Amino acid sequence: MEHRENLVFKGAEPQCLGSSPLPGEALKLSGPEGEPEPITFEEGKDYVIDYMAGTVTRTESSRIPDWREHPAYGLKTFDHLALPYYSNAGFTCSISYRAADSRTEYTEDNKQTYDLLKSKLPQLFDRLTADKEAVCVIFGDSISTGAEASRPELSFFGRYIAELRNRYPESAIQAVMKAVGGETSSQGLQRIEEVVAAQPDLVLIGYGMNDQNRNSDGSNFVSVQTYERNIRQMVDVIRSRTGADILLFTSCLPNPRWIFASDNVRDYADALRRIAADSGAALADVQTRWEQVLSTGKSHESLLLNNVNHPNDYGHELYYSVLNQYLD
């Protein structure tokens, strides 16, 4: 299976791969993504691979950008506004290879063996299987807009819609973008009529990253209690006014060294889990998947293109891999 992911290298520190590369198979490592014509690096000259450990290491004489030159390197905490730049675009490399297996496959406790699309998204399922038009709306913050994906089709929503169209070619699938960068759930709730007006069959709701942000006094931009109330109201309004299916998804983790990242970001994911359990809405638990990947040794820098809270292409792929359970 062809596998593609992003890596950010720090000196000669081994960087973990998300899957185990097949020994003897050719790998392609190129970058940085911030350049119009990325360099293709050479194994043995620019990097070495440990197939058993599943790591790639930059050589001392490598042409691969060294993240130790990033202005945030060595800082225990950082304010992105106080740095000359904070993006990882100039350091993010892309690696593709044939994988023996994935070391971080998405798993769900007690995952149902029956068709999740049919059981959890019945309106969408009925429209698709009847070859009727289906309207899919995404509602959320900048991550939902596809922020930092190198191309729109590589955003997680772009991937999801493309796969739906691939599997149901006779059904006209309309993708409607109602996400706005920088929004909290409180601001989103004020725009709920925009979602209703689209007359959706499916609404993906992705708020939480901005809600959890930390104020100077340590409080969140939007409290967990208010956030949970906002999302519950969104679900109720959308269902009562349109009958649409709801797919909630938890957010990835921000860089913990960022001064605006709170220490209770997981509480927002817990709130979505409660809402899904109470309402029967579908849930894509991205945050659990993100934690699984980090537990293998993957760095925050290799997942967040802006080094703060926006996933790179591989991060968007992780979002999609969790949404993918609602495609079968």
102 CB-near residues (< 8 Å, 6+ apart)? 3, 18, 19, 20
**What is the rounded CA–CA span in Å between residue 245 and residue 235?**
9
Q: 3-state DSSP: the chain helix, strand, coil percent, rounded to 5?
A: 35, 20, 45
Domain ranges of the chain: 2-102, 116-326
Q: Which CATH architecture has domain 116-326?
A: 3-Layer(aba) Sandwich (3.40)
Six token digits for residue 203: 């609404």
Each of the 328 residues of the chain gets a pLDDT tens digit; together they read 788 999 999 999 999 998 888 887 788 999 997 788 899 999 999 999 998 899 999 999 999 999 999 999 999 999 999 999 999 999 999 999 998 766 555 454 434 433 788 889 999 999 999 999 999 999 999 999 999 999 999 999 999 999 999 999 999 999 999 999 999 999 999 999 999 999 999 999 999 999 999 999 999 999 999 999 999 999 999 999 999 999 999 999 999 999 999 999 999 999 999 999 999 999 999 999 999 999 999 999 999 999 999 999 999 999 999 999 998 6
- Cβ burial, residue 225 (10 Å; 0-12/13-18/19+): exposed
**Chain center to CA of 309:** 10
